[in-house]
Amino acid sequence: MKQLHERAHELLEQKAVSVIIGYGEGTEGRVRPVFIRTLEAVRLLVWDDRCRVNLAVYLNKPEIRKFGFPIAVVSTPATVRTIVQLIAEHQLSIGDVVVLVRENDTVRALIQKEDLEQYARNNPVIFPPFVIEEIELLKKMSIEERFTYWQEELAKCFKCYACRAACPLCYCEKCITDVNQPQWVCVAPHPVGVFEWHINRAMHLAGRCIECGSCTIACPVGIPIALLTIEATRVVKEEFAFTPGIDCNAPSALSTFRVDDKETFIR
């Protein structure tokens, strides 16, 4: 923590960044995001095992962007991958972000493409074991059972779009659900509207989901909604050997092809 404070102090003092996005003490023993712009505020930064939420999402928010790049972000492995993926999708450029990571008990600042990619490759996103169990459980179900499972889970959704707000890769300025000419996705939170929304979301994140789990954490009614995008991305990985978040120049998995694609889905 001391090292982080020193680094943050240095960055702000040298005006190397406009803001540092990090974790601060919240209520009831939880952490919350803080946006540090002054030297006095640096002491608010905390960094411990509770700091898991993916702060990269704030890089897309106009309220933060208006401070101007470069911006520093206190990052977990998932955050680094997100930033790499956002660079690949042209939402950020190299140099826009100073990525603060913990490595062997020291704080490192990653800025260059090679450093970001190397860190992303060497530090996979690790799920809590229950997520892995849940995926396995779903995979063992028959299609009908799985459909019932999702019907039950999604019945709870009342379309608050917290999942969308929390997802660092949902950066569209106008989401497809907000497009009303034509109204592709039903706005009402009835079964059809809810399914349409979540299927769209899974499709739009297939091959892009970083598997940070932010959407599941954000969901106020506890739907394990990340499972859909995680699985969609794994299918893309299996079919096209494509992992998001490790290559700043990666083309989009679904709109490009490689000659060595298996093409087993074409029958």
Site of interaction with other proteins (CB under 8 A): 89-91, 171-176, 179, 181-182, 184, 204, 251-252, 254-256
Q: Which is nearer to other proteins, 142 or 180 (CB)?
A: 180
Closest approach, Cβ 108 to other proteins, in A, equals 29
* Token output for 26: 């919240």
Rg (CA), the chain: 19
User: Smallest distance from the beta carbon of 154 to other proteins, in angstroms?
Assistant: 21
Q: In terms of CB distance, is 89 or 231 closer to other proteins?
A: 89
| Residue 46, φ and ψ in degrees, nearest 5 | -120, 160
Give a three-class secondary structure readout of 9-37: HHHHHCCCCCCEEEEEECCCCCEEEEEEC
Residue whose CB is less far from other proteins, 172 or 187: 172
Cβ distance to other proteins smaller for residue 129 or 182: 182
Residue 169's contacts (CB-CB under 8 Å, 6 or more residues apart) are 82, 85, 86, 89, 205, 208, 209, 210
Q: How far apart are CA 135 and CA 179, in angstroms?
A: 32
**Please, which residue, 178 or 239, has the CB nearer to other proteins?**
178
Nearer to other proteins, 74 or 228 (CB): 228
> Around 229, how many Cα atoms within 13 Å sit in the side-chain half-sphere?
27
CA distance 267 to 252: 23
Q: How far is the CB of 43 from other proteins (least distance, A)?
A: 35
In the complex, least distance from residue 191 CB atom to other proteins, rounded to whole angstroms: 17
Q: How far is the CB of 91 from other proteins (least distance, A)?
A: 7
Cβ 258 to other proteins shortest distance, Å: 12
Omega before residue 182 within 30° of 0, cis: yes
> Which pair of structure tokens corresponds to residue 28?
């009831």
Find the shortest distance in angstroms from Cβ 185 to other proteins: 10
Q: Which is nearer to other proteins, 147 or 184 (CB)?
A: 184
**Residue 115, Cβ neighbours under 10 Å: how many?**
15
* C-alpha pair distances (Å), 75 with each of 66, 82, 173, 199, 258: 21, 10, 24, 29, 32
